[in-house]
Amino acid sequence: NAGVTQTPKFQVLKTGQSMTLQCAQDMNHNSMYWYRQDPGMGLRLIYYSASEGTTDKGEVPNGYNVSRLNKREFSLRLESAAPSQTSVYFCASESREYQETQYFGPGTRLLVL
Amino acid sequence: DAKTTQPPSMDCAEGRAANLPCNHSTISGNEYVYWYRQIHSQGPQYIIHGLKNNETNEMASLIITEDRKSSTLILPHATLRDTAVYYCIVRVNNAGNNRKLIWGLGTSLAVNP
């Protein structure tokens, strides 16, 4: 049982490049989330998916797209990376069976030059 | 979801109890109090949550005041590994598609030898 996994762990991009951050969970959770965390700040929600086939915007969705590929996987895409998107990205899944607690992945550290 | 107020930092001696306060004076009757922690650069980890009764698990105790306007997370015997940022969050459960958690800056707890 790996929990929530994220790939890659680190990435360096040039401005304008695109990339997709992958997230997968093996806990059969319905809901999944993407957050970003900037130095000295709390987590900010980018997008979330309450169930397979649905996605909704969070607090800071601009510049990102998401895909809930199936129940296990929720990917985050940067179409044209900007230096302001330099951050640590965390994926989480949520258990409705246990009072909606969230389980987080180890994070992806992204640097956009 | 209501917002929370936490002290930015606290210190605790190893082996002693760490008491982390959280103010949530605008909490609604159906909002739960959740605590998570984030150990340096890792993904946040769920600790405990409650609605109005005090709760205890293997990690911590949660004391919620009778008026529910504040709560205290208690780590009974803090160890060096408890050094982390602790987040207090309030949210409504079973909110359908409304699942936007608001993460503040948390309390940075330093456990000293």
In a 10 Å sphere around its CB, with 0-12 CB exposed, 13-18 middle and 19+ buried, how is residue A39 labelled? exposed
- Residues B22 and B103: beta-carbon distance below 8 Å: no
Higher pLDDT, B104 or B102: B104
Tell me what pLDDT residue B93 has. Answer: 63
Higher-confidence residue of B84 and B100: namely B84
Q: What is the pLDDT of residue B30?
A: 82
Q: How far apart are CA A3 and CA A63, in angstroms?
A: 28
Instruction: Render pLDDT for B2-31 as a digit per residue (tens, 0 to 9).
Output: 689 999 999 999 999 999 999 999 888 888
**Residues linked to residue B38 through DSSP beta bridges, in sequence order:** B85
pLDDT classification of B98: cutoffs 50, 70, 90: low
Residue B25 tokens read as 């004076």
Q: What is the pLDDT of residue A99?
A: 62
**Can you read off the two tokens belonging to residue A39?**
């130095």
What pLDDT does residue A95 have? 78
Helix (H, G, I), strand (E, B) or coil at B82: helix
Whether the CB of B97 is below 8 Å from some CB of chain A: the reply is yes
The answer to whether the Cβ–Cβ distance between B43 and A4 falls below 8 Å is yes
Q: What is the DSSP string of chain A?
A: ---EEEE-SEEEE-TT--EEEEEEESS--SEEEEEEE-TT--EEEEEEESSTT--EE-S--TTEEEEE-SSSBEEEEESS--GGG-EEEEEEEEETTTTTEEEE---EEEEE-
Identify the band that residue A89 occupies on the pLDDT scale cut at 50, 70 and 90: very high
**The predicted structure's pLDDT at residue A42:** 85
Which residues are bridge partners to B31 per DSSP?
B92
Summarize pLDDT for A8-65 with one digit per residue, the tens. 999 999 999 999 999 999 999 989 999 999 987 889 999 999 888 899 998 899 999 9
Task: Say yes or no: B41 contacts chain A, CB-CB below 8 A.
Answer: yes
CA distance B6 to B4: 7
- The torsion angles phi and psi of A53, rounded to 5 degrees, stand at 90, -5
Instruction: Give residue-wise pLDDT tens across range B51-93.
Output: 998 999 999 999 999 999 999 999 999 999 999 999 999 886 6
Average pLDDT over residues A54-77: 94
Name chain A contacts of B88, Cβ cutoff 8 Å.
Answer: none
Kindly report the CA angle at A97 between A76 and B94, in degrees rounded to 5? 75
Please indicate if any CB of chain B lies within 8 Å of the CB of A27: no
pLDDT of residue B46 exceeding 70, the answer is yes
pLDDT band, residue A100 (cuts 50/70/90): confident
The answer for residues whose C-beta is within 8 angstroms of residue B76's C-beta and 6 or more apart is B17, B60, B61
Chains A, B: CB pairs < 8 Å: 57
